[in-house]
Amino acid sequence: MKPVNTIIADEQTLFRQGLRALLEHGEFCRVDEEASCREDLFALLQSTPHSIVILDADLPAQSEDAGTDDLVNTLGAQFPDATVILLCDGRSRAMLSRAVRSDVAAILLKTCTIHALRRCLDLVISGKRYIDETVTKRIRSSRLHGGCRELHEDPTEPNLTRRERQVLHHMAQGHNAPDIAGRLQISHYTVKNHKRKLMQKLDCSSSTALVAKAVARGIVHPAGEPG
């Protein structure tokens, strides 16, 4: 695994130290820093903006003002070069909805195994997106029971072209734009144009939300499942 600057951001000291020990076991990954609150995380990213951040979605703030901002959106605006792996508890519909709509590199439940997190890190470092299979299952379940409004507000089948469906399929399998361009033998700019149209048709604001919504509606299958 390539050496990268990695930050674990979680309020609980025991969780941070335990996760750090598991990731560093066998020299799989070097964890450079830990943060217990938003202010500490922002200070670390000021000096290492290209870090991978393993982030608790409920990371608290020391001040009330900082705690009122949407954490993922704030990170994306202030530190666009940071790569965020978002850890959610999965119990709150609102939290899960925010997670699938956010433009993060990966989404995992905090109940996942260390093997799942290691696989996620490998994919993210190689430039691919990752949504844990358990997350997609909960998205489907929430949709069936009225949760995640963005995922089910339009029950009709979108009018997608054959090429758009191909691009969407490869996105769901975790491939990035250059990978998709090579597989479909089209230009990188054509892939980006298809992604833009897909986000318009499915009314999504990010690639992560687009894949999550397509999976929830059964348009494509998540990574690891046959298409």
Q: What does the H/E/C string look like for the chain?
A: CCCCCEEEECCCHHHHHHHHHHHHHHHCCCCCEEECCHHHHHHHHHHCCCCEEEEECCCCCCCHHHHCCCHHHHHHHHCCCCEEEEEECCCCHHHHHHHHHCCCCEEEECCCCHHHHHHHHHHHHCCCCEECHHHHHHHHHHHHCCCCHHHHCCCCCCCCCHHHHHHHHHHHCCCCHHHHHHHHCCCHHHHHHHHHHHHHHCCCCCHHHHHHHHHHCCCCCCCCCCC
Distances (CA, A) of 169 to 85, 141, 164, 196, 226: 22, 21, 9, 15, 10
> pTM, whole model, 2 decimals?
0.62
The pLDDT score that the predictor gives to residue 168 is: 93
Whether 184 and 123 have beta carbons less than 8 Å apart is answered as no
d(CA 122, CA 20): 16
What architecture (CATH level 2) is domain 149-216? Orthogonal Bundle (1.10)
Domain definitions of the chain by residue range = 6-131, 149-216
Contacts of 155 (CB under 8 A, 6+ apart): none
pLDDT of residue 150: 41
Structure tokens at 13: 């000291």
User: What pLDDT score was predicted for residue 217?
Assistant: 82
Beta bridge partners of 107: 86, 131
pLDDT tens, position by position, for the chain (227 residues)?
A: 555 789 999 999 999 999 999 998 877 788 999 999 999 999 999 999 888 999 998 888 877 555 445 788 888 888 988 999 999 877 666 666 666 667 788 999 888 899 999 989 988 888 888 888 777 777 666 655 554 444 433 334 567 888 888 999 999 998 998 999 999 988 887 888 888 889 888 888 888 889 988 888 888 887 655 54
Q: Which CATH architecture has domain 6-131?
A: 3-Layer(aba) Sandwich (3.40)
Beta bridge partners of 83: 52
Supply φ then ψ for residue 35, to 5 degrees: -135, 135
**Residue 97 pLDDT:** 65
CB 85 within 8 A of CB 131: no
**Could you give the CA distance from residue 77 to residue 82 in angstroms, rounded to a whole number?**
10
**Rounded to the nearest 10 degrees, what angle do helices 188-201 and 162-172 cross at?**
90
pLDDT at 189: 79
